[in-house]
Chain A
Amino acid sequence: MYLYLPVALTSINILIPVGLGLAVGLLSGLFGVGGGFLMTPLLIMFGIPATVAAATDSNQIVAASTSGTYAHWRVGNVDFKMGFHLLIGGFVGGLVGVQAIKILKAMGNADFVIKMTYVIMLGVVGSYMFIESLNAIRKSKNKGEAVTPVETKDNAFTRFLKSLPLQTRYEKSGVTHSMLLPIVFGGFVGILAALMGVGGGFLMVPVMVYILRMPMHVVVGTSLFQILFNCIEVTFLQAYTNHNVDFILAVLLLLGSTVGAQIGTVFGRKLKGEQLKIILAVIVLVVTVKIVFDLTLTPSLLLAQAGGH
Chain B
Amino acid sequence: MFNIQGSKLSTLFTLLICMAVLLVSGTASAMLTAKANHDNIKIDFFYHGSSVSVSGITEPGTDLVIKITSPEGHETLKEKGKVGGLLWMNVGTMKFEHVSNLYSVHSTKKLEELLVPEEMDKYGIGYKAIEKQAVLDPVQNNEEKAKWFSEFLRFKEKSKLYASSNGNIEMKEKDGKQSYYILTQWPYQAPPGDYLVTVYAVKDGKVVDQAESKVLVEQAGIVKTLAGMAKNKAALYGLISIVSALGAGFGVGLVFRKGGGAH
Contact (Cβ within 8 A) A67 B78? no
Assess whether B22 is interfacial by the CB under 8 Å rule: no
The interface size bin for chain B is: 35 or more
Assess whether A262 is interfacial by the CB under 8 Å rule: yes
Contact (Cβ within 8 A) B80 A303? yes
CB-contact partner of A62 in B44, B152, B154, B249, under 8 A: B249
Assess whether B47 is interfacial by the CB under 8 Å rule: yes
Q: In the complex, which residues of chain B have a beta carbon less than 8 angstroms from the beta carbon of A303? A: 77-80, 94, 148, 151-152, 154-155
Contact (Cβ within 8 A) A6 B237? no
A-binding segment of B11-19, B111-119, B203-211, B240-248: B240-248
A3-B45, A62-B246 known; A9 and B191 CB under 8 Å?
yes
A239-B238, A303-B155 known; A266 and B263 CB under 8 Å?
yes
Contact (Cβ within 8 A) B226 A258? no
The interface size bin for chain A is: 35 or more
Contact (Cβ within 8 A) B246 A66? yes
Contact (Cβ within 8 A) A64 B249? yes
B-binding segment of A195-203, A276-284, A292-300: A292-300
The CA-CA distance from A11 to B41 in the complex, in Å, is 15
Contact (Cβ within 8 A) B248 A112? no
Interface residues of A (CB under 8 A from B): 1-4, 6-7, 9-11, 47, 59-60, 62-71, 74, 111-112, 115, 232, 235-236, 238-241, 243, 245-248, 250-251, 254-255, 258-259, 261-263, 266, 294-299, 301-307
Enumerate 17 A-B pairs (CB-CB under 8 Å) in ascending A order.
A2-B48, A4-B47, A112-B89, A235-B238, A236-B239, A239-B237, A239-B238, A240-B238, A243-B230, A245-B238, A251-B248, A296-B88, A302-B151, A304-B78, A304-B80, A305-B77, A306-B78
17 additional contacts (CB under 8 A) given A6-B224, A241-B234: A3-B46, A6-B227, A11-B49, A11-B188, A62-B245, A67-B249, A67-B253, A68-B249, A112-B89, A235-B241, A245-B238, A259-B252, A262-B252, A299-B88, A302-B151, A303-B151, A305-B78
In the complex, how many angstroms separate the beta carbon of B219 from the nearest chain A beta carbon? 7
Q: In the complex, which residues of chain A have a beta carbon less than 8 angstroms from the beta carbon of B81? A: 302
A67-B249, A239-B230, A263-B263 known; A4 and B44 CB under 8 Å?
yes
Contact (Cβ within 8 A) B88 A297? yes
A4-B46, A247-B237, A250-B241 known; A301 and B252 CB under 8 Å?
no
The CA-CA distance from A306 to B79 in the complex, in Å, is 9
Q: Nearest A residue to B234 by beta-carbon distance?
A: A240
CB-contact partner of B257 in A6, A66, A74, A235, under 8 A: A74
Q: Nearest B residue to A257 by beta-carbon distance?
A: B249
The CA-CA distance from A115 to B90 in the complex, in Å, is 10
The CA-CA distance from A74 to B148 in the complex, in Å, is 57
Q: In the complex, which residues of chain A have a beta carbon less than 8 angstroms from the beta carbon of B248? A: 63, 66-67, 251, 254-255, 258
Assess whether B256 is interfacial by the CB under 8 Å rule: yes
Contact (Cβ within 8 A) A236 B256? no
The CA-CA distance from A240 to B231 in the complex, in Å, is 9
The CA-CA distance from A297 to B253 in the complex, in Å, is 43
Q: In the complex, which residues of chain B have a beta carbon less than 8 angstroms from the beta carbon of A235? A: 238, 241-242, 245
Assess whether B4 is interfacial by the CB under 8 Å rule: no
The CA-CA distance from A121 to B124 in the complex, in Å, is 50
A296-B87, A303-B152 known; A59 and B245 CB under 8 Å?
yes
Q: Nearest A residue to B250 by beta-carbon distance?
A: A66
Assess whether B51 is interfacial by the CB under 8 Å rule: no
The CA-CA distance from A69 to B246 in the complex, in Å, is 11
In the complex, how many angstroms separate the beta carbon of A216 from the nearest chain B beta carbon? 20
In the complex, how many angstroms separate the beta carbon of B135 from the nearest chain A beta carbon? 16
CB-contact partner of A10 in B88, B151, B189, B245, under 8 A: B189
A239-B238, A245-B241, A299-B80 known; A4 and B223 CB under 8 Å?
yes
Assess whether B23 is interfacial by the CB under 8 Å rule: no
Contact (Cβ within 8 A) A63 B47? no
Contact (Cβ within 8 A) B188 A10? yes
Contact (Cβ within 8 A) B78 A70? no
